[in-house]
Structure 1
């Protein structure tokens, strides 16, 4: 780090690093004013010169796609409104009571649409609050900020105040908040006392989903059935985990959560890691004990478990501070054991059938 040379016409001056006049800047070409000092990043001899940040920032311009969507949605709305207006006029032309009945039904539909929109907006806001709460608790734990941690944990207690199964954990955490002064320790205690039962149930949800995917793909005769089963189980797991952790997403909130889970997998490389780990284990002896079909089911189950782990990270209202959270290795042993039992049960059933025929 170097200080930017003073502009011409200004005498050299000394500044403390905590002085409000000291500024950090990524732009080495910026000239400081007469009453400030700039600190910029110096290039090492072996470093490549960097382009300005504007070079990689998308320029805002006319968004024709947005215009297209607004125009099409407006036309569809007008078409629906004109169709309803024509229907009401036809009903009144036939008889008055049919027209009034049609108006009442339109009013009922409009009321339902407003209620549905309000519910979706509330669900989106709730999912957004959980994301914001997790980020703030993460920052509080990293900075060991007791005040920020207490504020975030109060919101966490409010999130679960209507959940009877969290009563004991909420009581314990409220007591810790009056006694513990370290922000990071408060977040750890919340994870242990309040969230650990929910984490245990989340692991059961992911494990059961992975087992179902593993067994269905092992016995299914068609690839399309496999695909539909995996898709259904993954979406169902994401929704159940969100409800478990207090999200209760609507349709739009569920779409947002699904996108976040996919983004989390892309950022962490989870799918590739899960596939590599599964292939490695299968190549070191599991393939010799299981049939090819059951081995494929185990891989699908492991990938489903990886998606569940990503969903836990996205839906959980607090970060994992005391531990790393669930890992794919925790699910692997149980999935392999379940597949081996299914293989033995299938073999025993085939032997009984063969004996009965003889």
Structure 2
């Protein structure tokens, strides 16, 4: 059944009745009725995280680390005692060297802890911004933008973006649009630099592995390039990871790759990504170079998703098709005539 449309009516705002029951709006009355909107949105309940038991691997590594530290300490103590027995000046020299080493160890520990805390801070900003954009919460979005601005407050290359964001942030009402504005002003130049790093690393891997005579050299070069790319992307987006932070970042990137589909290898990858026409025209070595370059680009895209302090909302995320086109063009030029698709 279709309801008969009501005729336009003029009324005073002070005569409006605000009610919660929709049935009241259909009852006859001399005063216009407005149905109040619910104050809270019916959001789906968050999925509870599974409870984890003790991580025995971490306990084992910690116990072995403590034993190793005690062993090194006892060895240094015994060495200093032996040097004192041989000559007093040698003992004091060993004490001075040990003190310098201890200061360096403390400095390294502080740097590693700072790197880990910075990576955790970026992760929290990204999660909070993703939640604010999903709920379109303006207050939460403003808090995320403040945290993002504080993260890049000491970087001169973001000064223009921070100034533009501060100028226009007060004009944005929706939380999702505010996150998008932050993306455009602060992260767009960094995204362009990140894609340049990924493409450069993929091209380098493609060329080197295409002319390399040994598979072991290919494997080592791809591994070193991928790890270096992860560190560069982490530093670009403000992570500045140390050794422990880099290992954690690399583990997170690998886990992200596994969640988003993993990495394939072999002729099937060439057929799926490059197409049968191109794969049939490329030589075996050039095909292997393309595969290694594509895998490197895949690692780079995953690293961007992990290192970026905001999710891709307003900006276009990097796509494998862009890198594949460049790598195919590169190999077509190396192989002679450009293949026809």
Alpha-carbon deviation of 1:103? 0.9
Aligned to 2:97: 105
Question: Contact 1:176–1:186 (CA<8 Å) still a contact in 2?
Answer: no
Alpha-carbon deviation of 1:342? 1.5
Give 1:315-354 correspondences, 5 Å limit.
Answer: 315-344=307-336
Aligned to 1:279: 271
1:117 aligns with 2:109: yes
Question: Contact 2:233–2:307 (CA<8 Å) still a contact in 1?
Answer: yes
Give 1:189-228 correspondences, 5 Å limit.
Answer: 189-228=181-220
Alpha-carbon deviation of 1:160? 1.2
Aligned to 2:250: 258
Partners of 1:142 and 1:269 lie apart in 2 by 24
Q: What is the CA deviation profile of residues 200-250 of structure 1, one whole-angstrom value per residue up to 9, with x for unaligned ones? A: 010000001111111111111110000001101100110000100000000
TM-score, scaled relative to structure 2: 0.80
Aligned to 1:349: none
Aligned to 1:178: 170
Greater relative contact order (Cα 8 A, min sep 6): structure 1 or 2?
2
Question: Contact 1:157–1:170 (CA<8 Å) still a contact in 2?
Answer: yes
**3-state SS of 2:312 partner:** coil
Give 1:226-265 correspondences, 5 Å limit.
Answer: 226-265=218-257
Q: What is the CA deviation profile of residues 112-136 of structure 1, one whole-angstrom value per residue up to 9, with x for unaligned ones? A: 1111111100100000000110000
Change (3 A) 1:196 1:69: closer
Instruction: Determine which of 144, 148, 159 is the counterpart of 1:167.
Output: 159
Unaligned runs of 5+ in 2: 1-37
TM-score, scaled relative to structure 1: 0.76
Change (3 A) 1:117 1:132: same
Aligned to 1:302: 294
Question: Contact 1:217–1:296 (CA<8 Å) still a contact in 2?
Answer: yes
Alpha-carbon deviation of 1:73? 3.1
Partners of 1:83 and 1:65 lie apart in 2 by 27
Change (3 A) 1:168 1:330: same
Partners of 2:56 and 2:126 lie apart in 1 by 36
Aligned to 1:41: none
Partners of 1:163 and 1:180 lie apart in 2 by 25
**3-state SS of 1:271 partner:** coil
Q: What is the CA deviation profile of residues 291-347 of structure 1, one whole-angstrom value per residue up to 9, with x for unaligned ones? A: 1210121111111111110000000001000144001011111110011112229xx
Unaligned runs of 5+ in 1: 1-17, 27-52, 346-358
